[in-house]
Structure 1
Amino acid sequence: MIPAKENGEFVARMEDVLDIYQWEYDEEYPVVCMDEQPMQLIKETRQPLPCEPGKPARYDYEYERNGTANHFLFTEPKAGWRKVSVRPTKTRRDWATEIKALLDEEYPNAEMVILVCDNLNTHTVGALYETFEPAEAKRLADRIDIRYTPKHGSWLNVAEIELSVLTKQCLTRRIRDIETLSREVTAWMNHRNESQSGVDWHFTTSEARIKLKRLYPQYQMN
């Protein structure tokens, strides 16, 4: 949701993220966006009837809730790459563990990863220190530069676009357990990476200053 009136904090973070999206690609300083999404796991109470000629698949309206899971999605828009991990929880330790995997397994040779994410209280450098011993936490913290989207400005995060695609293409049905969910999400991720689907981001800081002029605080010249 875009604020209804001027908001200096929103503007500052918005321009920071928009400027980052205009950087030239640099494998030493990759720009990675992350977002997460919970999902309800659903079990069938009766066996669905498969498709037949002239008849669609049929499902009973009753279902059984089978817990929840959480997707951690990372994407590098300019490289057409994304990674999705499925976890049963979304704690600070979960996030910190995902960050370690991102840095050590996906970007071991990068000087610094620029991470665009939202303002959840789990998305902090402090979470690294709560999960790893101090030297390891400091090593990871020194290799990540977190840039937060504005509050109520998650539309500025490219990872939210990827999560929307994931939901529409893979998750619009009942999935019974976390093992099945992980397999389905991995298959989606591999297919999308192989096709090198990327995001062509056009909205810039210059355009924001025109189209979202109402958000910019008025100032007085001395």
Structure 2
Amino acid sequence: MWRMEDLLDLYMQPYDEAYPVVCIDERPCQLIGHIQLSEPPQPGRPAREDTEFSRHGACSTFLMFEPHAGWRHALVKATRTKRDFADCLRYVLNEKYASASKVRLVLDNLNTHTPAALYETFPFPEALRLMKRIEWHYTPLHGSWLNMVEIELAILVNQCLKRRIDNIDRLQKEIAAWEQERNAQRAIVQWRFTPPDARIKLKHLYPSHENTSS
């Protein structure tokens, strides 16, 4: 419950470029190709795609999203390890937000999403430097829907990934084109769920103070 309130309060804070709120998460992507060539659309007939497909392994897409600024960036990785996660954090801190005082990071409770990832990837002084520039905000257990990047990931899937892509290079190019268009639009999330809303709609999650004495 307290993690939910922490995140909802964070989302209500005014935009501050010195303390950007960045939501991060990743999803697996199956690399799938065609066995038979697809038939292009014809007048009065849609494109045809054979139901058979070939598998070419899997990879992971890490998505970083700053909801208040309408910015997102995806990194496609062959694996989904602590090192991959740490590389994403280094990109956020060293390249995108090098001048920020601190990045307020929103993430779920996956076992790779910890400061330990920095220490297992970088020399200790660098790991400490990076860690000190992050303010960690975790979603509640079973509450990853409170991470706004989940909304952006769903849009990525619907607009870009619902088709057969058989290799990482092509996947990177397709996602980069999607990302460029979304960033040009400065697309944001209209988040309206606040702590007062949570105390009403999710009242059963809160402890009762009716019988406590002052």
Residue 23 in structure 1 maps to residue 13 in structure 2 = yes
Q: CA offset at residue 165 of structure 1?
A: 0.4
1:214 matched to 2:204? The reply is: yes
Corresponding residue of 2:85 = 95
5+ residue gaps, structure 2, are: none
1:168 corresponds, among 135, 148, 158, to: 158
Give how far 1:96 is off. 0.3
Please give the secondary structure, in 2, of the residue aligned with 1:184. Answer: helix
Corresponding residue number in structure 2 for 1:144: 134
Q: What is the aligned partner in structure 1 of residue 103 from structure 2?
A: 113
User: C-alpha distance in 1, partners of 2:91/2:22?
Assistant: 13
Structure-2-length-normalised TM-score:
0.97
Deviation at 1:53, TM superposition (A): 1.1
CA distance in 2, matches of 1:127, 1:63: 36
Residue identity opposite 2:103 in structure 1? V
Equivalent residue letter for 2:172: S
- The residue that corresponds to 1:184 in the other structure is 174
Return the letter of the residue paired with 2:134: I
How far residue 69 of structure 1 moved from its aligned partner, in angstroms, is 1.2
- RMSD of aligned C-alpha atoms? 0.8
Per-residue CA deviations over 1:103-160 (Å, capped at 9, x if unaligned) read 0000000000000000000000011000000000001001011100001101101000
Question: 1:221 corresponds to which letter in structure 2?
Answer: T
Runs of 4+ in 1 over 4 A off after TM superposition: none
Query: SS of 1:98's equivalent?
Result: helix
The corresponding residue for 1:129 is: 119
Displacement of 1:218: 2.3
**Residue 204 of structure 1: aligned partner:** 194
C-alpha distance in 1, partners of 2:44/2:170?
29
- Write the letter of the residue equivalent to 2:110: L
One-letter code of the match for 1:176? D
1:37 pairs with 2:31: no
2:149 aligns with 159
Q: Distance in 2 between matches of 1:121 and 1:127?
A: 9
Distance 1:194 1:79 in 2: 11
- CA apart distance, 1:43: 1.1
The 2-side partners of 1:13 and 1:217 are apart by 14
Tell me which amino acid in the other structure corresponds to 1:118.
D
Identical pairs, percent: 52
Matching residue of 1:70: 60
Q: Which of residues 35, 44, 49 in structure 1 aligns to 2:39?
A: 49
Per the TM alignment, residue 55 of structure 1 is displaced from its structure 2 partner at its CA by: 1.5
Paired residue total: 212
Post-superposition offset of 1:188: 0.1
Matched with 2:184 is 194
